[in-house]
Structure 1
Amino acid sequence: MTTLDTNRFTLIETEVQCALDNFASDVSQGLLATPKTLPCRHFYNQRGSELFETICQLPEYYLTRAETEIITAHATEIASLFDEPVSLIELGSGSAIKTQLIIEALLAHQPNLLFAPIDISQSALEESALELLATYKNLEVLGVAAPYEVGLAHLQHEIPGPRLALWLGSSVGNFQPDEAVPFLREVANTLSGETDRLLIGMDLHKDRQVLERAYDDAQGVTAAFNLNLLDRINRELGGDFDLSGFAHRALYNEGRGRIEMHLLSLSAQTVKIDNLQLEIPFVEGEYIHTENSHKYRIENIPGLLEAAGFELEKQFIDPQQHFSLNLARPLR
């Protein structure tokens, strides 16, 4: 059995109880709201993270292939933009091949690398670090098990510059438009415009059928991923959701330019959540809204970044024009 090299791996943990309290609060507020909602950040317990890794390999899920294609073509160019050794920060666990391509490109230009992934899942961070440290002997990993904004605050003074921050996979699309800019501004405020850069993936507008298939695959993996949120409530908060009484739905809202994921109640039912002392009634056909995934138009990306305190320096797009990877400089 391979163990983590603790000389090259450090984990900063947030309080487990604090994380559980946040989950409980979000579940209570979301299921008592009209319409009912559950935040997508709670998808990623260990089981959810495993399911998402599977989703990324599905034939319908074009996002990972398109972004990987872009990074494969341009990683060396991106690494060569820095005149001195950089530290790498990622909003995410660092488990994807995309991150490894960036790491390899940077290590081709510098003797060693400090990599600091931020992820709400401690297990995902540890598994990723185990693989990365076994592969790259001149890599050091500082993992932060926390929500992104908490992790960024931890790392602001911990990581030497210059720094390249990664936010891949178009995760920014999970934010509402009026939330994305303030969050990106937080990222900008942790970076220096003189030396640091942000590399951010943003999914582009495309045909409805392509989008809906990407979020409702034939094998039902995305459905399991969505339903896992209810299973998590059962396990951690004493819920009694009957998962067979709910169905996954993914619909493209053209007016808002986003995919919306829901869980559909298949009958009138009442769910108890003992730890929250709640009984939640559902009518047949009622939705729990679990995720938005906004899509972007190429011409709107510079303005969005500028509103958040960044200047777009370079934009890379795959040949099918499915996905964009954007290198941005903080304006401070």
Structure 2
Amino acid sequence: MNDRNLQIMKMLVEHYLRDGQPVSSKYLAHSAAIGASPATVRNVMMNLEKMGLLASPHTSAGRIPTASGLRFFVEQLLTVSPIEQHIQQQMQQALGCQASSTELCAHASGLLSELTAMTGIVTVPKLNKVKIDKIELFKLTPTRLICVIVMHDGEVQNRVIETRQNVSDTVLQQTIQVMNLAMVGKSLDAGLQKMRELIQQTNKDVAQLSSAALSFTSQDENQVLLTGQSRLLDENISSELQRLRALFEAVSDKHLVMDIMEKCSGADGVKIFIGEESGIDLLQDCSVISAPYHNKGEVVGRLAVIGPTRMNYNKVIPIVDITARMLSSALNQTD
């Protein structure tokens, strides 16, 4: 594709993303930057349509970019804008505070939605990735206890435990001692491995109580935070109200969201799905922009925005990227 074709493609997509209307050859030809007649521009647009990059709506003689055309634009023609200083300050204020990992993820989700006017999504780091500071067991009744695990990032996990037999104070204290010896200062995975070794050296009652106390540590790995679901009720996504409602409901109950985040996993850096590229029917009129975030150099979650395919990519992409970087920095500072 020569320079003129690229320039026409770039201008057409930028105009469409800005105004949402089909773009005519006459409009582009009037641009001093193109320097070509309407007939020449029209021939170029016809060639781009044959390549599958443009489409001609039935109601207009102008052209709009296809999902493939938007993909070509994002990968080959897009000029990403630097984030304005006041936006960077807003991001730093939201993610620069001392908070638990879940609170930081909630801040990031809200920030993404506010800055992009789209739906913000952040998966919460799995419990087994965070170090343990302290474990406590408190007796409510002789057969009912509560286990409290304090994580290094400020998270507190707790669960009520029911036992078949009365738990003596001696067994309770021995269990607390063994659990803290095995797990404090370690990630959950490493702590559980050490716990299995120590249980072999303890009596049956301590082993049973320890196992019961830690049974809830198989945390729901599908924990995800969403902000701005109502922004999906956008006519820029679809003019069909029924389809918008279906998308809103699917995202609200989070089944679709986990599908989306699963498809985004495994990618290093910003990943973009445009239209049908996601393979999810309800998202054929949407784009998803996601990025991983890290703790101690390891990917512990992802964040993303969902919005119309006609979005301001040069603004949204850096916002997603920088939010992921700032969230990573904030999580590393909690250690």
TM-score tier (shorter) = under 0.3
Higher strand fraction: Structure 1 or Structure 2? Answer: 1
Q: Give the structure with higher Rg (CA).
A: 2
Output the TM-score relative to the length of structure 2. Answer: 0.22
Higher helix fraction: Structure 1 or Structure 2? Answer: 2
